[in-house]
Structure 1
Amino acid sequence: MKPIETIKVLAASVIAVVVMVGIARFSYTPMIPEMVDALGLSKSVVGMLATVNYAGYLTGALLITRISDLGLKVKLYQLGLVVAVVSTVLMGYTTDIWLWFVLRFVSGLSTSAGMLLGAGLLMSWLIKNNQKSELGVFFSGIGLGIVLTAVLAELIKDPFAWDQQWVIYGLVALVLLVPAWLWMPDYRACALPRTGNAAAREERSRFIIILQLAYFCAGVGYVVTATFLVAIAESMPELSGHGWLIWLIAGLSATPACWLWDVFSRRWGQWTALYLAYTLNAVSILMLILNTSMASVMLSAVIYGASFIGIVSMMLAMVGRVFPENPSRPMSRLTFSYGIAQMLAPAVVGYLADVEGNYSHGLWLTLLVMALGVVMLHLARQAKDRETAALSQTG
């Protein structure tokens, strides 16, 4: 495999993540204050729009667990790229809340294609071509997407109305779609030999079930900050007008963190790396509760960006290596749990914010869930050790 070909494949994968996750999902975060100011949306509606988006993400994850045909996966992955562009542009052409719900749901479907089908297809390609089976570079696209939406948000918020801003995000996604499509390899040639017992072994795996619970907790920790970070910052007098900057900092932190976590994991072990990532994510939430100064919120954004991306990257890469024949399936099972968290948490936190007038109670609840996630992560590690020991004895 020529180095230039590898670079093109990785670049296409990263750009696709920027389109289907960075823009299709994360453009909504800096758009929240814009839409609230222009249209008077309540916190509950803001939270429900995020919830519907993750309902689409959840539905996509569930569907992907049922798909084993590699050709179909490739077609759906390509469709996800197109849907990400269209669903983003159309957000600016209506003020009907129900149509927004539909568009955010469809956008969530495209995000699941980008995250899960994209990660699984790339993992198969890496294994097939004797490359390191790590997804740090792939998930750097999430951080790049955050950076892109943050910078765009600042550039376009004054010259353009909220509806025009949505269209601009969509047009940028359209431009990025071109190299993502042209540099995409023939993933259908990356099918690995099937032994016939991988799916059954996955279904019986207690490790996967407990890991799903741990990942659910991580989903809560991720989505509450992802949805409300800019709004939280803008609600603070000393940070008013700087919400985009906080979001940019989170993205800049997330972008290099993926491969840094890969390096750390290789040196100290994947479980130690995951414990640390979960703990840091909890710390970032605690900082938002205890200190509302600009320096504290900025540092919280740095820690958040670096930690959530590490959890996602390491978790999905780990199950992809454990079940290499069809990596998208266990990745989707984990993301199904992640998606449930992302569907429920924004609605709950948005409701609490409406009732209490601030995000404090919602953040405390999120912190408690993350602490539970560390416990579940440790239980998953113990289950994996037992399953590995049992396999070695039967083998």
Structure 2
Amino acid sequence: MSATPSTLGVNTPNRLDAQALFATLAGLCGSFVAIGLARFAYTPLIPALIQAHWFTSSQAVTLGAANFAGYLLGALLGRPIAHRLGNRHALRALMAMVTLAFFACAFPLSVSWFFGWRLVSGVAGGAIMVLVATSILPHVPAVRRGFVSGMIFLGLGLGIAASGTVIPWFLHYGLRVTWMGLGAIALLLTAISWLGWPRADAPVASIAPASASGHHGHAQPTAALRVLYGQYAANALGLVPAMVLLVDYVARGLGQGAAHGAHIWVLYGIAAIAGPILCGQVADRIGFRLTWRFALLMQAVGVALLALSSNAMAIVAATLILGAFTPGVVPLALGRIHELIPHDHLEQRAAWSRATTAFALFQALGGYGYSYLFSHTHENYALIFTCGAVALMLAFLVDLFASKRRT
């Protein structure tokens, strides 16, 4: 009887076999649908939702925050769901939930109906973000995990770019067709990924170091990890204004129209495609700690540009910066965790779950807080962007201070 390998690519430790490549494709599809489309496709739709009188401006922003609240729930529920169903069945079910939510949003029966389905898409997105990389990477040869991680999170950028490209075309046929079209894309990618998810959870060989250490994913976080969780949370506060308001700011705030807003979102998406790859290459050269610090500073600069200037070049520069780092900070944060916990795969997964939960919590708080400020300050875009820039600058300063203390 021949032995069946428990790890993808085990026969060629420096190369990815067909199973590993298929799993990587499934991960890319997962981040594409659950984050790239489910979260970011809503941003270029906000002006159209308001102009078509589906919702008021304050309702549209609040409904955008519903996805953030769901993301928090999903980050908390991801590991329990996977424990009950197994990673493969959990990821399949979550992808199906996102797809169903797109089709349901084509029928704005009420604000609560729409809110509920945006919440569902957020729950699925948060759970997928917790599970997608940690379900695939243990099955991949160690020397190829950096490449696979970048390809998985590349789906975020591809989803953002796709939403900016197809939504203006869909909108020519109406909002209902737009939501149905997004659902069709999600259905296609769910079908492509269906058989690609690894059949088993993390193989024994990949978790042996964790078992030997005795941590089993329950070790107390170090001071450096706690700092990282706080910075990742602040990063969420800094990114939410652009996630929700960038297109609306260009379209209505600057009076340039929905078409120009969509073009800005396409630019944001193009930068998002390059972001994870560039961040990974820079981190390979100078380390994740310095790359993470640089990312915080550049994001603060990008959001500050939106707050301080309406100049076209400043907005383009801010769009490129924020587009690149919105998905780029995800592999940076994950890589920083691997630097701080180099040999314990179970604790790496637990730490990534905590970091994602911190991000999701402050993303939700920021979404609702900014929604309140937006509706109670006569749609003051500059104030919202300023709050985001301050949060990112504080995270950067904390990183400098913590590094000096360690030195």
Q: TM-score normalised to the size of structure 2?
A: 0.87
Q: CA deviation at 1:370?
A: 0.8
Deviations 1:95-122 (A, max 9, x none): 3111111111110111012211002112
Letter of the aligned partner of 2:116 in structure 1?
V
- The question of 1:248 aligning with 2:266 is answered yes
Cα–Cα, structure 1 residues 40 and 163, in superposed 2: closer, same or farther, change >3 Å?
closer
- The question of 1:83 aligning with 2:100 is answered no
Letter of the aligned partner of 2:395 in structure 1?
G
Which of 29, 37, 43 lines up with 1:23 in the alignment?
A: 37
Q: Which residue of 1 aligns with 2:198?
A: 185
Q: Is the 8 A contact 2:94 2:128 kept in 1?
A: yes
Which of 345, 357, 363 lines up with 1:336 in the alignment?
A: 357
Q: Which residue of 1 aligns with 2:6?
A: none
- Where does 1:264-343 land on structure 2 (aligned, <5 Å)? 264-320=282-338, 322=341, 323-325=344-346, 327-343=348-364
Q: How far apart are the structure 1 equivalents of 2:349 and 2:104?
A: 29
Q: Is the 8 A contact 1:288 1:296 kept in 2?
A: yes
Q: Which residue of 1 aligns with 2:184?
A: 171
- The question of 1:368 aligning with 2:390 is answered yes
Give the secondary-structure state (helix, strand or coil) at the position aligned to 1:185. coil
Q: Is the 8 A contact 1:91 1:166 kept in 2?
A: yes
Cα–Cα, structure 1 residues 381 and 131, in superposed 2: closer, same or farther, change >3 Å?
farther
Q: Is the 8 A contact 2:218 2:350 kept in 1?
A: no
Deviations 1:34-62 (A, max 9, x none): 11111263332223212221111111111
Letter of the aligned partner of 2:362 in structure 1?
A
Letter of the aligned partner of 1:41 in structure 2?
F
Which of 222, 228, 231 lines up with 1:211 in the alignment?
A: 228
Q: How far apart are the structure 2 equivalents of 1:66 and 1:382?
A: 38
Q: How far apart are the structure 2 equivalents of 1:126 and 1:41?
A: 46
Which of 220, 227, 245 lines up with 1:228 in the alignment?
A: 245
Q: CA deviation at 1:380?
A: 5.8
Q: Is the 8 A contact 1:262 1:314 kept in 2?
A: yes
Which of 347, 351, 376 lines up with 2:372 in the alignment?
A: 351
Q: How far apart are the structure 1 equivalents of 2:143 and 2:200?
A: 15
Q: CA deviation at 1:133?
A: 4.1
Q: Which residue of 2 aligns with 1:57?
A: 71
Q: How far apart are the structure 2 equivalents of 1:49 and 1:221?
A: 19
Aligned-residue Cα RMSD (Å) equals 2.3
Letter of the aligned partner of 1:336 in structure 2?
T
Cα–Cα, structure 1 residues 178 and 380, in superposed 2: closer, same or farther, change >3 Å?
farther
Q: How far apart are the structure 2 equivalents of 1:288 and 1:265?
A: 27
Q: Is the 8 A contact 2:92 2:190 kept in 1?
A: no
Q: Is the 8 A contact 1:238 1:293 kept in 2?
A: no
Q: Is the 8 A contact 2:46 2:61 kept in 1?
A: no
Q: Is the 8 A contact 2:137 2:145 kept in 1?
A: no
The higher relative CO (CA closer than 8 Å, separation ≥ 6) is in 1
Q: How far apart are the structure 2 equivalents of 1:239 and 1:32?
A: 12
Give the secondary-structure state (helix, strand or coil) at the position aligned to 1:188. coil
Q: How far apart are the structure 1 equivalents of 2:367 and 2:357?
A: 16
Q: CA deviation at 1:200?
A: 3.1
Q: How far apart are the structure 2 equivalents of 1:276 and 1:38?
A: 41
Q: Is the 8 A contact 2:106 2:176 kept in 1?
A: yes
Q: Is the 8 A contact 2:30 2:95 kept in 1?
A: yes
Q: Which residue of 2 aligns with 1:132?
A: 145
Letter of the aligned partner of 2:367 in structure 1?
P
Q: CA deviation at 1:219?
A: 0.5
Matched length = 382
Stretches of structure 2 lacking an aligned partner (at least 5 in a row)? 1-8, 10-14
Q: Is the 8 A contact 2:138 2:202 kept in 1?
A: no
Deviations 1:272-299 (A, max 9, x none): 1011111111111111122213332122
Give the secondary-structure state (helix, strand or coil) at the position aligned to 1:39. coil
Cα–Cα, structure 1 residues 189 and 356, in superposed 2: closer, same or farther, change >3 Å?
closer
Q: How far apart are the structure 2 equivalents of 1:329 and 1:253?
A: 30
Deviations 1:202-243 (A, max 9, x none): x24233222111111101112221111111110212465211
Q: Is the 8 A contact 1:68 1:326 kept in 2?
A: no
Q: How far apart are the structure 2 equivalents of 1:55 and 1:240?
A: 27
Identical counterparts, % of pairs: 23
Q: How far apart are the structure 2 equivalents of 1:162 and 1:124?
A: 41
Q: Is the 8 A contact 1:35 1:41 kept in 2?
A: yes
Q: Is the 8 A contact 2:276 2:329 kept in 1?
A: no
Q: How far apart are the structure 2 equivalents of 1:161 and 1:101?
A: 20
Q: Is the 8 A contact 2:136 2:198 kept in 1?
A: no
Give the secondary-structure state (helix, strand or coil) at the position aligned to 2:273. helix
Q: CA deviation at 1:197?
A: 1.4
Moved over 6 A (4+): none
Letter of the aligned partner of 1:152 in structure 2?
V
Q: How far apart are the structure 1 equivalents of 2:365 and 2:202?
A: 38
Stretches of structure 1 lacking an aligned partner (at least 5 in a row)? 387-395
